[in-house]
Structure 1
């Protein structure tokens, strides 16, 4: 557990808020809400039950994701924003895109659904990887 002292917990929290806010923007009418809502069968403006609990759960998940990514960046010895962005890209490819692509196929979802959802995680992980590798 001594490696926990090497982590920048302020950076982890800031990165989690960045991911959380990016999600709010990504799934808003400004970006991809309309096509995403059409694919999942909801109406624009509809607030599903438990939306606030979901938002809190998202922030908690984002905190955990950033905490784990900070460890991976440290263990990989990534330096500079490009090193961290590269780790974020690898994590996205191996643990997000590789899992969500076949899941989207099994669910019978269009490619656009996969691109919207994994695009959010691609941008998030690359940004967070870059920030965490620089802000130690």
Structure 2
């Protein structure tokens, strides 16, 4: 999208990228929580057993997991795409002169998978890690639990950021 004209097109969310970013949490989870990776340690640290896991309502678990992952992915553009931030500063008005000027100077700068991954990782370190860490302190969870859980989200948010920012 170029901004050579005075009337740029709106910056609508890329819902396909958001959907794929949401689903990436399942792909990462299937590897991360595999017993050969961190699954066995995570189960021990949380007190989860195979019997208890089998009693879970998996439709509810996976359904709500998707909803929550979608919510994270939906907010990711505001975190990883500078142009969205500029649009927000313009009050969401893509015809605002300041926004047009910003886009004429910067255009699609930093709209890469690499840049999105960096911002996704930073967001996980400054949003997810403290959140998981605080909960773990009050729940008296171990450092291993924090490392596994926050590590999972660091990988997921890095991937989400890359997908959402780089997929134009």
| Ranges in structure 1 where 5+ consecutive residues have no aligned partner | none
Return the offset for 1:82: 2.3
**Alpha-carbon contact 2:29-2:152 (below 8 Å) kept:** yes
Q: Deviations over 1:54-106 (max 9, x none)?
A: 11100111111111102332334742222211210221122100121122122
> Which portions of structure 1, spanning 4 or more consecutive aligned residues, are displaced by more than 6 angstroms?
none
Tell me how far apart the structure 1 counterparts of residues 113 and 56 of structure 2 sit (CA, whole Å).
Answer: 39
Q: In the comparison of the two structures, how many residue pairs are matched?
A: 134
The structure with more radius of gyration: 2
Tell me how far apart the structure 2 counterparts of residues 48 and 59 of structure 1 sit (CA, whole Å).
Answer: 20
Tell me the TM-score normalized by structure 2.
Answer: 0.71
**Alpha-carbon contact 1:78-1:87 (below 8 Å) kept:** no
Change (3 A) 1:68 1:78: farther
**Alpha-carbon contact 1:100-1:114 (below 8 Å) kept:** yes
**Higher helix fraction: Structure 1 or Structure 2?**
1
Q: Does 1:70 align with 2:77?
A: yes
Q: Greater CA deviation, 41-50 or 78-87?
A: 41-50
Tell me the TM-score normalized by structure 1.
Answer: 0.86
Q: Greater CA deviation, 70-79 or 38-47?
A: 70-79
Tell me how far apart the structure 1 counterparts of residues 69 and 131 of structure 2 sit (CA, whole Å).
Answer: 18
| Ranges in structure 2 where 5+ consecutive residues have no aligned partner | 1-8, 86-108
**Alpha-carbon contact 1:26-1:120 (below 8 Å) kept:** yes
Within 5 Å, which residues of 2 pair with 1:50-129? 50-74=57-81, 75-76=84-85, 78-129=110-161
